[in-house]
Amino acid sequence: MKHIADSTVRRLSAYLRFLEDFEHRGLTTISSDELAKQGGTTSAQVRKDLSFFGSFGKRGLGYSVPELSGRLREILGLSQHWRVIIIGAGKIGAALAQYRGFRQRGFSIVAAYDNNPEKIGRTLEGIPVRDIAQIEHDIQREAPEIAVLTVPAEAAQPMLDRLVRAGIHAILNFAPTQLQAPPEVTVKTVNMAMELEGLSFALTNRE
Amino acid sequence: MKHIADSTVRRLSAYLRFLEDFEHRGLTTISSDELAKQGGTTSAQVRKDLSFFGSFGKRGLGYSVPELSGRLREILGLSQHWRVIIIGAGKIGAALAQYRGFRQRGFSIVAAYDNNPEKIGRTLEGIPVRDIAQIEHDIQREAPEIAVLTVPAEAAQPMLDRLVRAGIHAILNFAPTQLQAPPEVTVKTVNMAMELEGLSFALTNRE
DNA sequence: TTTAACTTGTGAATGAATTCACAAGCGCAT
DNA sequence: ATGCGCTTGTGAATTCATTCACAAGTTAAA
């Protein structure tokens, strides 16, 4: 398949959210223009994004809301369940563990891991906290697909290497550091410091 | 000034992090190539990024670490302090309140706000939780520059409007929703659901 | 059946970001 | 002083992403 840009995938994800809203309100069709207005983009962009995957609309009418949302879920891989593990049972890990958006979209958090003996054996928002020492064993046994990394910056790269060796192919990183991973592993980084600095730049450099 | 792309600002922010590392280790000069390797980019990209703001390097030698990091801090607006308020004293708010990266970079969290009477008057990681009803009054009095929005999705847009009317120009949004704001207001959104869906897409569509 | 009002899907055009490639400058060794 | 090895700064070339613009398809009304 032709390479799909990251920005395109993000927009698909946004479209799906609006479609679910529409579905909820009982509407059956939607035009690229309405979708665009919601997502802060243009109708041509919406149609182009969708055209990478097929043609789902009806000329003169628009898109069927249930059909398009179904297709988007397929495209994004949301028609299957993904098992998620959280590495690092700190505050951020806890905030994520209770975040309802995960389960709503087919991501189930199976366990959290930490190296602090006081945390191991307890639960984090109902999710068991296990010893990080057993991570390789658990990955082999339970085959989670996605790992969320909420460890201190200096521990992030070694932990990523360890997860990759154990067979993880998708990582959501919250440590404020640039990570290296082999090409078959996808890493997304959420860096709050970077976002804040973007705001600082905008505040400083506006005329 | 010429318009600077968002991607450029993000990279500058990454460069600064490495420079601080280098500074810490007592190194005095660095080449665009070393900076690039750390940041997962190319030396030409590093030089182009910096060239928008001046020429800071010495041919044949590279960049002075303390000088370049100082210049980047200026460019990013980090030589001044920014006051931050957190709107929504839930789990994410708490995780952010204790995040050390903020203070380290000159962002000080002055207060959190909530509408839950059980939370108002208490503290969140040492930060006072105040009644959201007094937000306009406080903004006028304390003039915070940045608001972090950690409220439920459906409350985000009305709250943004309220903050903008009260004089806020920079918003870091954690609600999983697309927000509309006037052009003089900068909004950055951190959307975990979107990142996860990006991983789901990558897992699904790899050959 | 014809017409009018819409809306899609998509090549072509434009615009933006990245990479190339090289002249020019700097430091060190000889 | 001269030459060599290294690195910057930057126009030009290229690649990537977005927007334009319109033929073709659909519905509904007359």
The residues, ordered by sequence, that sit 6+ positions from B184 with a Cβ below 8 Å of its Cβ are A206, B169
Please compute Rg for chain B using Cα positions: 20
Residues B70 and B88 in one domain: no
Q: Which of A135, A138, A141 is nearest to A87 (CA)?
A: A135
| DSSP labels, B137-173 | HHHHHH--SEEEE-S-HHHHHHHHHHHHHHT--EEEE
Instruction: Give the closest of B94, B101, B171 to A192, CB-based.
Output: B101
Whether B77 contacts A203, CB under 8 Å = yes
Q: Which residue has the tokens 């398949």?
A: A1
Residue B188 and residue B88 share a domain: yes
| Chain A residue numbers touching B178 (CB-CB < 8 A) | 14, 17, 38-40
Judge if the beta carbon of A113 is closer than 7 A to nucleic acid strand C: no
Distance B69 CA to C30 C1' (A): 36
Does residue A190 belong to the interface with chain B, where contact is any CB pair within 8 Å? yes
Segment B122-154, tens digit of pLDDT? 999 999 999 999 999 999 999 999 999 999 999
Which residue's entry shows tokens 């991973």? A181
- B70/B99 same-domain check: no
Examine the fold and report which residue of B59, B76, B93 is the final residue of a domain before the chain moves on.
B76
- Looking at the structure, tell me whether residues B139 and B51 fall in a common domain: no
Residues B114 and B71 in one domain: no
- The H or E element spanning position B84 is strand B82-87
In a domain, A201, yes or no: no
pLDDT for residue B165: 98
Q: What is the pLDDT of residue B101?
A: 81
Does B113 lie in the same domain as B44? no
Count Cα atoms within 13 angstroms, Cβ side, for B90. 16
Whether residue A1 has pLDDT greater than 80: no
The predicted-structure confidence for B185-203, as pLDDT tens digits, reads as follows 999 999 999 999 999 999 9
Q: Which nucleotides of D are covered by protein (CB under 7 A)?
A: 5-11, 16-21, 24-27
CATH code where residue B25 lies: 1.10.10.10
Q: Which of residues 110-149 of A touch B (CB under 8 A)?
A: 145-146
> Tens digits of per-residue pLDDT, A50-95?
999 999 999 999 999 999 999 999 999 999 999 999 999 999 999 9
pLDDT single digits (tens) A123-163: 999 999 999 999 999 999 999 999 999 999 999 999 999 99
Q: Report the C-alpha gap between B199 and B207 in whole angstroms.
A: 15
- Give the model's confidence band at B36: pLDDT under 50 very low, under 70 low, under 90 confident, else very high: very high
The verdict on residue B132 lying in a domain is yes
Specify the pLDDT at position B102.
82
Its domain, for residue A154, covers: 82-195
Report the distance from CA of residue A44 to the C1' of nucleotide C13 in Å, as an integer. 14
Residue at token pair 């928002």:
A125
Give the sheet arrangement for strand B29-30, strand by strand. B29-30, B62-64, B57-58
Answer whether residue B54 is part of any domain: yes
User: pLDDT-derived band of residue A207, with 50, 70 and 90 as boundaries?
Assistant: low
Per-residue pLDDT, averaged over A25-39, amounts to 94
b/e code B85-94 from CB counts within 10 Å (16+ = b):
bbbbbbbbbb
- Residue B207 confidence (pLDDT) above 70: no
Q: Give the pLDDT score at B103.
A: 82
Final residue belonging to a domain, choices A19, A47, A76: A76
Q: How far apart are CA B171 and CA B189, in angstroms?
A: 8
Tell whether the model's pLDDT for residue B162 goes beyond 80. Answer: yes
The answer to whether position A1 is within a domain reads: no
Whether B141 and B173 map to the same domain: the answer is yes
Q: Are B12 and B49 in contact (CB under 8 A)?
A: yes
pLDDT reported for residue B41: 96
Query: What average pLDDT does the structure give for chain B?
Result: 95
**Nearest in space to A50 (alpha carbons), one of A9, A2, A3:** A9
Q: Which amino acid is residue A113, in one-letter code? A: Y
Beta carbon of B60 within 7 Å of strand C?
Answer: yes
- Return the residue matching tokens 């960049």: B63
| Residue showing tokens 């708010």 | B93
Count of domains for chain A: 2
Task: Please report whether residue B63 resides in a domain.
Answer: yes
Which of B23-27, B32-36, B68-72 is predicted with the least confidence, judged by mean pLDDT? Answer: B23-27
Residue where a domain terminates, one of A61, A76, A91: A76
Q: Where are the beta strands (DSSP E) in chain A?
A: 29-30, 57-58, 62-64, 82-87, 107-114, 123-124, 127-131, 146-149, 170-173, 186-189
pLDDT score of B1 more than 90: no
